[in-house]
Amino acid sequence: MKPRLLIDVPEGQTDVLLHTCCAPCSAAIIECLLENGIRPVIFYFNPNIFPLEEYEIRKAECTRYAQSFGLTIIDRDYDHSAWSNQIQGLEQEPERGRRCQQCFNMRLMETARYGAENNIAVFTTTLASSRWKNLEQINQAGNRAAKHYPSTIFWEQNWRKGGLSERRKELLQEYGFYNQRYCGCEFSLRNSK
Q: Please write the tens of the pLDDT for every residue from 27-65.
A: 999 999 998 888 999 999 999 999 999 999 999 999 999
Residue 126, CB-side half-sphere exposure with 13 Å CA sphere? 29
Q: Is residue 33 part of a domain?
A: yes
Supply the CATH number for residue 43's domain.
Answer: 3.40.50.620
Q: Is residue 141 part of a domain?
A: yes
At 63 the pLDDT is: 97
Positions of the chain with pLDDT lower than 50, given as ranges:
none
At 13 the pLDDT is: 63
> Rounded to an integer, what distance in angstroms lies between the CA atom of residue 8 and that of residue 33?
10
> Rounded to an integer, what distance in angstroms lies between the CA atom of residue 121 and that of residue 155?
10
> Rounded to an integer, what distance in angstroms lies between the CA atom of residue 134 and that of residue 56?
25
Average pLDDT, rounded, for the chain: 91
Q: How many domains would you assign to the chain?
A: 1
At 159 the pLDDT is: 92
Name the residue among 140, 153, 129 with its Cα closest to residue 23: 129
At 100 the pLDDT is: 96
Q: Is residue 10 part of a domain?
A: no
Q: Is residue 72 part of a domain?
A: yes
pTM of the model: 0.93
Percent helix, strand and coil across the chain, each rounded to 5?
A: 50, 10, 40
Q: Is the Cβ–Cβ distance between 74 and 170 less than 8 Å?
A: no
Q: Is residue 9 part of a domain?
A: no
Q: Is residue 8 part of a domain?
A: no
Q: Is residue 70 part of a domain?
A: yes
Q: Is the Cβ–Cβ distance between 58 and 24 less than 8 Å?
A: no
Q: Is the Cβ–Cβ distance between 16 and 123 less than 8 Å?
A: yes
Question: Pairing between strand 122-125 and 153-154?
Answer: parallel
Name the residue among 21, 17, 49, 54 with its Cα closest to residue 153: 17
At 192 the pLDDT is: 61
Name the residue among 27, 126, 15 with its Cα closest to residue 68: 27
Q: Is residue 126 part of a domain?
A: yes
At 109 the pLDDT is: 98
Q: Is the Cβ–Cβ distance between 167 and 2 less than 8 Å?
A: yes
At 141 the pLDDT is: 98
- Polymer length of the chain: 193
At 193 the pLDDT is: 56
At 181 the pLDDT is: 80
End-to-end CA distance of the chain: 35
Q: Which domain holds residue 93?
A: 16-192
Kindly state the greatest CA–CA separation across the chain.
Answer: 46
At 7 the pLDDT is: 52
> Rounded to an integer, what distance in angstroms lies between the CA atom of residue 35 and that of residue 161?
16
At 162 the pLDDT is: 84
> Rounded to an integer, what distance in angstroms lies between the CA atom of residue 189 and that of residue 184?
7
Q: Which helix (H) or strand (E) holds 13?
A: none
At 132 the pLDDT is: 79
